[in-house]
Structure 1
Amino acid sequence: MTETVLDRLLDSLRSAANVSRADQVRPAAVLWTDQESQWRPVAERLREMIPELLMLGEHAPEQRCGPAIWIKCMLARTLEEADWPASAVPILYLPGVSRADLRAIETCPRALQPLAELQYRGLFWSQLNGRDWTVKAFLSSSRGAFNLDVSGDQATQQAMHRALDVLIDTPVDNLKGRRLEAADFDALLSSNPIRDLLTWMNNPEASAEEWQGARWDAFRSRCKADWKLDPKSDGVLVAAERISEGRREWDAVWERYQSGWRSFPKVIEQLRLASLPVRRDLFTDLGRYPKTNDKAEDSLRLALAGVAGTSQTEAVSRLQGLEQEHGPRRHWLWAQMGQAPLAQALEPLSRLAALTGKPFRGQHLEDMADAYRAEFWQVDTAARQALAGLRTKADTEAVSTALQAIYVPWLEEANQRFQNLVRKDGYPGSTVVKEPSAAYQTGGQCWLFVDGLRYDVAQDLAALLKDEGLEISIDADYAPVPSVTASGKIACSPVAQFAQGRSTDQDFVPSHGTLDKPLNTALLRKILKDEGWQVLGGSETGEPTGRGWTEFGDLDHYGHEHGLRLAREVPIILDAIVEQIRCLIDAGWQQIRIVTDHGWLLVPGGMPKTELAKFLTATRWGRCAALTDTAKPTDLTLTWSWCPDVRIAMAPSISSFIAGQVYGHGGLSLQESIIPRITVTPPAGVADAVSVTVTEIKWTGLRCRVVVDGAQPVYAADLRQKANDPKTSKAGGGKPLKGGKASLVVEDDALEGEAISLVVIDGNGQAVARMATVIGGE
């Protein structure tokens, strides 16, 4: 591995405490005096690498910094934050303090006096002549192990200190073999001129102020030579215009911006100021102008709003034309940056239009249900995805208008046919299976309840779990009547046999068969515990050889609270569910059984209002209502799945008994009634992988150091976006674990701040452990 200045500094500091135990007792501390505070920027970085490093200064214990008396308490380990390894000798960094200050006890400042006695019980990190290590001395001295030829002029000294933060990460070999002058250190600061240019464009005033002097002069000179641009006289606007114009010498700048725009969030505003070219031809590329994209989004917003009141056929035709016009913008940088949400929404809208044009029929209920499970759930996915990327009210209204013209009529027609088939064939969910499943479930199985896991959302979840390398099987069942949590949660649990419905039960909550109590969530959990099930909460993983029940991912609550915004929240909730399942699998559970209570309708523009007189109902919800004993049956009346004496009126098609509902469930529709069941198991051959644990992740810049317990000699570590996909590696394919340790480097600095997974890989290339982290550290 290439050794850097920082590596040598770390070795030198820690070796200062090495003494012959036969001749000398263990030092109380290593004193790092620095009268000119030259090393302060470095010391602040070292805090993350050396837990035993303490700094003299204002009281900030979270930064391991404090006054002398605090340092003495830390050395005595009387404070909770004194948690460095017992074998490590503390290193005290004393900025603004010289060795002479501590030696002259009579004149020693009062604030330093508590530390003065440490000169007798500790050791100084200093030169052989007793002076403080300055940066120049450390680089040029043979005892500093560099013996570099550093010029002693003032300009070089200033340049060296300016570049210190970059200098310490520089390989030692890059500094040898020549006399180091000011220009050499300045070159360290501008080794990446394209990055410097974009940094300046991102914040020109702050950059000019921070780089004033040699670095600013070097930057201007490089800009003139490479891009014929003077940052001082031309300014940011000229730079923005030249990038957008697509001049050949600016192509590398554009490519760097495309790959690393997250590091330069304000550059887009500068590019928006660039004027569109007056003279254009067939070869003029307007894709580099965010202004072009902005105008196209405005135009598309008006066009989508314009489909209001058109027929479904006309709306589909208009969407096809809009896709041809605006679809290519999805390949522009601005779409990647989230600046083209409507162009992005056109892709699922186009899929939806194609799917709704297919015949969706069936002579029997099961035929229609099979067709939905096989293909037509994708209509709901497309509608949801069309809304998922929208952040403004205007965009949401525009896409909702398009969905009202295409999706809502399909929903109404499909579910009217579904209800007609229920009248003809009956509804399979009208009776609840009450097999005593709690007694015969095998050990190693954990049931995960997700409230409101609709069938199409379950398909998305299954795809995410497959990406994690897990084995998935998915089937379906029918929700009980009505499709609400009160009835459905106990029905999908392993203790459904304990429930018994009565005509006196309230709000569709069945009773306990013998206790004469409502079988609500609290009682459900008690029954599970009594039957030998572990009821796991939060991040608990329990004992994986037993049987478990846990609840996670409340889609239903979010839908009731936020309506259409549920569409954009679904991916976030699913990611959290995947993480929870991953934790359970990693803890040793051999099977995760995902169950749910009901699906839901999400209707842009709101569900049509249908009338049902209040005096006819004992309980009335949006999509269903319990009828009184004297009320006549409605056009679609079923019996409660838990008690046939309770009659429930179902709202026709996708309508609601309550006005203004966008989200709802409890009724009879494909989306509410067909519920998924997913079984998740670890990949074959990794049953022993649960003993592997990532115990430590430390970032130093873009270098990630990891420690793993239980790793076999053939195991490796990698940084990946997807655990079992080596193509998503951001660390060059990973490195073998030696002694349970590895050091990984992310080469692309544009990825800093991105979420990534630290993955441990076995000899077969399978991921056996994983931990989420952030590139560069949080």
Structure 2
Amino acid sequence: MTTTQAKPTTIAESLIEEIRSEANYNSNVQVAPACILWPDGDRQFEPVIDRLLSEMPELCVLGDYVPDRRTGPAIWLRMVIADRVDETKIPPGKTPVIYLPGIRRQDLRAVDDCPEALKPLAELQYRGSIWSQVNNKDWTILAFLSSKQGGLGLDVAQDNGTKNCLRPSLYRVLDERVDLLENKRLDQDYFNGLLSGGDPIKNLLIWINDPPMYRNECDTNAWNGFAEICKSQFKIDPVADGEIQAAYLLAEQAPPWNAVWDRYAEAPHRYPNIPDQIRKTSPPKSTGLFDDHSGWPQWNDSQEADLLSLLSNVKDQSEQDARKAILDADANHRVRRELVWAELGHSPLAMAAEHLADLARITSESMAGGTAEEVAAAYADQGYKADDAVLSALGCVREDKEFEAVAAAINAIYTPWCEQAALHLQAQVEQHEYPGGSLAELKEREFAPGTCVLFVDGMRYDLGVRLCDLLQERDHEVCSSRGWSTLPSVTASAKAAVTPVSHLVEGADVNEDFYPSIAETGKIADKYNLDKLLADNDWQQITKTEYGDPSGIGWSEIGDIDKKGHQLGWKVARSLNSILQEIVDFIDQLFAVGWNEVQIVTDHGFLLIPSGLPESKLAPSLAVNKWGRCAAIKPGANTQEKLYPWFWNPSQSFALASGVSSYKKRVYTHGGLSVHECVIMGITVTNASVAAGNVQIKSVTWKQLRCTVELLEPVEGIQLDMRTHAGNPTTSEASKIKPFNDKPRCSVIVEDDDLVGHRVFVVIVDSRGNALAQQETVVGGDG
């Protein structure tokens, strides 16, 4: 046998039930009452009568004749009770309820003294029933809420402030659940909170953010309730003190405003005008070392200005001194990365300082030592992190002055580090040979059905590491390998070497664009001819719209990092994560349609020095074609440039710029001989899924709008989402779906304050978004 849990009862439902209960009678000794009279001398319930008319079809009101609202004079009400009015009928089985605004019970008792207009109803007190308190007084809102005899027996404060709030807030009080109020103290703040929306901190922030808008959206009762809440809870009068004083108190963060600040800091983007409101105030004068002015954006601005000056000045320092200055700066400014101003994007240099400090630590260890292979190994182990730190630091800045400061710091410690490693590698290659092999070493490779080879142009080693991390977050099995680009490290020469048909390509005389040739036809191995060669050898062209037949083999190209680098220069740093995400999403689609394995290949890396690569001079008369880092020398030309054999035809040679210099003025370029350009990564990706049975939720806890979920044990590759409908990912209310990162605990923030008190689901999903476990919860907690 199953039982149905009773629906929670609201105050409105309880009020209606109590009124209707007045019609109960003992049929053995009584007759049914003709009606229920509801006297309300102080008109306390009048503000909600329109609502009750919609919920009580038997309710009628004494007043001017408005039959559509079941309202009319006493004689008309007598006719309704007698079922003599065609347009107003009381439903069968219902006892008519007559609401009497402005009429007290004692007014009915003195029949002779009744106003003439009321006398037709006076007699009904004997044939009907009167809904009143046990002491025969009219019901008031306070009495109904607090009385244990015929009322709800709630704990309601008796002070005048609370009494004054009751009538204005009644409309909202009616929707409150009785069971949730039974253990609460209902005072002035509670009722004013209902008037102003039930969330005083949220309302306070909305008002500070846009005072005219908030005032216009409030009716008189709601505004008065909000003002009273501000006075009692936050010690500020919105009318007398104004929003600027409120902004000052918010920035100061002294109790009770610290709770308001914490709420603001959880979702500052919801209140975009608050920083400007705070700027209209001035921080208090400093009194000592422990002053905290972090709530003022002006303070953060001054800190950013100090950091900009420090970073700009490291260009005049030695490498050692520059590194120390950068590390000290990071230590002094790291606290600002945790502040709301960083969240709002107002602390770009503080954010960049973290990555510059990483760069300082990494570049303190030179890569200029050992064989070429040992240099490559050092780069693949730690050195690539310097490249990543440069990109991450550049990705933090937007304005020119910020870029110039960061570029100065990078140039002081990164450029000489790269130069030393490149010169050493070039010397090793000159003494021995280039480790990247030659055409003679290319062999035909076998690929299993269901394999797609994915070409990414310009995927430097550090970006390969980023891509591996993203793929592993999606729960794919990832295996990476280290290799070398061809020389010169340009797409024309290097791309053909990583295709599945490289064994069908050969080199003739080097041409000015460094393209090899298709062996069978002699045509240059550009994109058109390579695509044709792939198709002739059963390689399907896979695109974002054509996923091919996964029982065969496929070739695809996506994520043109190199094109973006040439177009954007240093600003490519802002686009790289979205490019890598696009690659991951594409691989997900390939697996979704049935491909078993994706092999990611690339042609070369790149050098990116934001202040510009050092320039190397090469007379135009000596070169057939001069690229950034390489040049085809005219036959018979006499040059002092170092010449290197071409991968596709060692009898042909070309010049490479020394160190990290460039034949043309460039910020981003490639083609030369350095680990950044020539050490490349290959990635093999296979699909793996998470076993749903391993995921078990231990607890769900709330701190304001932050929900923390703890598992019985950690599971790899899973993420936490918050949804209003567990099975529909489009109903996510989490500010961001968060990975557990192999830990048992994870938290997300719900940005929509309006969801407080509403039921939602925490949902654990795998990398594909498949739900593995879920649990219902209440936003903000059950209490």
TM-score by length of 1: 0.68
Q: Aligned-pair distance for 1:536?
A: 1.0
Q: Does 1:722 align with 2:745?
A: no
Q: Quote the residue 1:436 is aligned against.
A: 444
Q: Is the 8 A contact 2:604 2:678 kept in 1?
A: yes
- In the alignment, the residues of structure 2 paired with residue 415 and residue 289 of structure 1 have an alpha-carbon distance, to the nearest angstrom, of 46
Q: Quote the residue 1:749 is aligned against.
A: 752
Instruction: Single out whichever of 370-379 and 323-332 deviates more from structure 2.
Output: 323-332
Query: In the TM superposition, what whole-angstrom CA distance separates every residue of 1:256-282 from its partner, at most 9, and x where no partner exists?
Result: 111121211221221222311125234
Q: Does 1:533 align with 2:536?
A: no
Q: 1:463 to 1:504 in 2, by over 3 A?
A: closer
Q: Does 1:456 align with 2:462?
A: yes
Q: Quote the residue 2:595 is aligned against.
A: 589
- Which residue, 497, 500, 503 being the options, matches 2:503? 497
Q: Does 1:682 align with 2:684?
A: no
Q: Is the 8 A contact 2:363 2:386 kept in 1?
A: yes
Q: Aligned-pair distance for 1:405?
A: 1.0
Q: Aligned-pair distance for 1:415?
A: 0.7
Q: Is the 8 A contact 2:467 2:584 kept in 1?
A: yes
- In the alignment, the residues of structure 1 paired with residue 578 and residue 294 of structure 2 have an alpha-carbon distance, to the nearest angstrom, of 31
Q: Aligned-pair distance for 1:187?
A: 1.5
- In the alignment, the residues of structure 1 paired with residue 523 and residue 645 of structure 2 have an alpha-carbon distance, to the nearest angstrom, of 21
Q: Aligned-pair distance for 1:490?
A: 1.5
Q: How does 1:260-339 map to 2 (within 5 A)?
A: 260-339=267-346
- In the alignment, the residues of structure 1 paired with residue 490 and residue 357 of structure 2 have an alpha-carbon distance, to the nearest angstrom, of 32
Q: Does 1:672 align with 2:677?
A: yes
- Which residue, 244, 264, 283 being the options, matches 1:257? 264
Query: In the TM superposition, what whole-angstrom CA distance separates every residue of 1:77-100 from its partner, at most 9, and x where no partner exists?
Result: xxxxxxxxxxxxxxxxxxxxxxx9
- In the alignment, the residues of structure 2 paired with residue 158 and residue 545 of structure 1 have an alpha-carbon distance, to the nearest angstrom, of 71
Q: 1:345 to 1:724 in 2, by over 3 A?
A: closer
- In the alignment, the residues of structure 2 paired with residue 283 and residue 576 of structure 1 have an alpha-carbon distance, to the nearest angstrom, of 47
- In the alignment, the residues of structure 1 paired with residue 195 and residue 447 of structure 2 have an alpha-carbon distance, to the nearest angstrom, of 65
Q: Quote the residue 1:408 is aligned against.
A: 415
Q: Aligned-pair distance for 1:532?
A: 2.0
- In the alignment, the residues of structure 1 paired with residue 240 and residue 346 of structure 2 have an alpha-carbon distance, to the nearest angstrom, of 31
Query: Aligned with 1:534: secondary structure?
Result: strand
Query: Aligned with 1:190: secondary structure?
Result: coil
Q: Is the 8 A contact 2:192 2:226 kept in 1?
A: no
Query: In the TM superposition, what whole-angstrom CA distance separates every residue of 1:12-36 from its partner, at most 9, and x where no partner exists?
Result: xxxxxxxxxxxxxxxxxxxxxxxxx
Q: Is the 8 A contact 1:469 1:723 kept in 2?
A: no
Query: In the TM superposition, what whole-angstrom CA distance separates every residue of 1:475-510 from its partner, at most 9, and x where no partner exists?
Result: 111111111111112211111112122216451122
TM-score by length of 2: 0.67
Q: Aligned-pair distance for 1:662?
A: 0.4
Query: In the TM superposition, what whole-angstrom CA distance separates every residue of 1:622-646 from its partner, at most 9, and x where no partner exists?
Result: 1101112212354421122122343
Query: In the TM superposition, what whole-angstrom CA distance separates every residue of 1:276-298 from its partner, at most 9, and x where no partner exists?
Result: 11252343222222211110101
Q: Please tell me whether Structure 1 or Structure 2 has the larger radius of gyration of its CA atoms.
A: 2
Q: 1:630 to 1:247 in 2, by over 3 A?
A: same
Q: Quote the residue 2:452 is aligned against.
A: 446
Amino acid at match of 1:675: I
- In the alignment, the residues of structure 1 paired with residue 557 and residue 90 of structure 2 have an alpha-carbon distance, to the nearest angstrom, of 65
Q: 1:186 to 1:373 in 2, by over 3 A?
A: closer
Amino acid at match of 2:462: D
Q: Is the 8 A contact 1:446 1:589 kept in 2?
A: yes
Q: Does 1:579 align with 2:585?
A: yes
Q: Aligned-pair distance for 1:563?
A: 0.7
Q: Is the 8 A contact 1:482 1:667 kept in 2?
A: yes
Q: How does 1:358-369 map to 2 (within 5 A)?
A: 358-369=365-376
Amino acid at match of 1:435: K
Query: Aligned with 1:474: secondary structure?
Result: strand
Q: 1:371 to 1:3 in 2, by over 3 A?
A: farther
Q: Quote the residue 2:207 is aligned against.
A: 200
- In the alignment, the residues of structure 2 paired with residue 279 and residue 505 of structure 1 have an alpha-carbon distance, to the nearest angstrom, of 70
- In the alignment, the residues of structure 2 paired with residue 218 and residue 374 of structure 1 have an alpha-carbon distance, to the nearest angstrom, of 63
Q: How does 1:118-517 map to 2 (within 5 A)?
A: 187=194, 189-429=196-436, 431-432=438-439, 433-437=441-445, 440-503=446-509, 505-517=511-523
Identity of aligned residues (%): 34
Q: Quote the residue 1:615 is aligned against.
A: 621
Amino acid at match of 2:395: A
Query: Aligned with 1:371: secondary structure?
Result: helix
Q: Quote the residue 1:549 is aligned against.
A: 555
Query: Aligned with 1:373: secondary structure?
Result: helix
RMSD of Structure 2 on Structure 1 (CA)? 4.0
- In the alignment, the residues of structure 2 paired with residue 544 and residue 397 of structure 1 have an alpha-carbon distance, to the nearest angstrom, of 49
Q: Is the 8 A contact 1:467 1:723 kept in 2?
A: no
- In the alignment, the residues of structure 2 paired with residue 580 and residue 624 of structure 1 have an alpha-carbon distance, to the nearest angstrom, of 33
Query: Aligned with 2:315: secondary structure?
Result: coil
- In the alignment, the residues of structure 2 paired with residue 532 and residue 160 of structure 1 have an alpha-carbon distance, to the nearest angstrom, of 76
Q: Is the 8 A contact 2:196 2:223 kept in 1?
A: no
Q: Aligned-pair distance for 1:561?
A: 0.7
Query: In the TM superposition, what whole-angstrom CA distance separates every residue of 1:43-71 from its partner, at most 9, and x where no partner exists?
Result: xxxxxxxxxxxxxxxxxxxxxxxxxxxxx
Q: Is the 8 A contact 2:195 2:221 kept in 1?
A: no
Query: Aligned with 1:428: secondary structure?
Result: coil
Aligned length: 584
Q: 1:564 to 1:611 in 2, by over 3 A?
A: same
Amino acid at match of 2:492: A
Q: How does 1:101-120 map to 2 (within 5 A)?
A: none
* Runs of 5+ unmatched residues, structure 1: 6-37, 40-99, 101-126, 130-148, 178-182, 688-700, 709-716, 732-745, 753-757, 772-778
Q: Is the 8 A contact 1:390 1:568 kept in 2?
A: no
Q: Is the 8 A contact 2:373 2:435 kept in 1?
A: no
- In the alignment, the residues of structure 1 paired with residue 546 and residue 554 of structure 2 have an alpha-carbon distance, to the nearest angstrom, of 11
Q: Is the 8 A contact 1:600 1:672 kept in 2?
A: yes
Query: In the TM superposition, what whole-angstrom CA distance separates every residue of 1:709-736 from its partner, at most 9, and x where no partner exists?
Result: xxxxxxxx999323876868668xxxxx
Query: Aligned with 2:316: secondary structure?
Result: coil
Query: Aligned with 2:515: secondary structure?
Result: coil
Q: 1:297 to 1:422 in 2, by over 3 A?
A: same
- In the alignment, the residues of structure 2 paired with residue 376 and residue 336 of structure 1 have an alpha-carbon distance, to the nearest angstrom, of 30
Query: Aligned with 1:706: secondary structure?
Result: coil
Query: Aligned with 2:314: secondary structure?
Result: coil
Query: Aligned with 1:319: secondary structure?
Result: helix
Q: Quote the residue 2:14 is aligned against.
A: none
Query: In the TM superposition, what whole-angstrom CA distance separates every residue of 1:202-226 from its partner, at most 9, and x where no partner exists?
Result: 1111111111422111111111111
Q: 1:686 to 1:665 in 2, by over 3 A?
A: farther
Query: In the TM superposition, what whole-angstrom CA distance separates every residue of 1:404-423 from its partner, at most 9, and x where no partner exists?
Result: 11111111111111111110
Query: Aligned with 2:420: secondary structure?
Result: helix
- In the alignment, the residues of structure 1 paired with residue 90 and residue 602 of structure 2 have an alpha-carbon distance, to the nearest angstrom, of 73
- In the alignment, the residues of structure 2 paired with residue 356 and residue 751 of structure 1 have an alpha-carbon distance, to the nearest angstrom, of 49
Q: 1:502 to 1:249 in 2, by over 3 A?
A: same
Amino acid at match of 1:413: Q
Q: Does 1:600 align with 2:568?
A: no
Q: Does 1:563 align with 2:569?
A: yes
Instruction: Single out whichever of 661-670 and 722-731 deviates more from structure 2.
Output: 722-731
- In the alignment, the residues of structure 2 paired with residue 251 and residue 718 of structure 1 have an alpha-carbon distance, to the nearest angstrom, of 22
Q: Is the 8 A contact 2:308 2:405 kept in 1?
A: yes
Q: Is the 8 A contact 2:202 2:753 kept in 1?
A: no
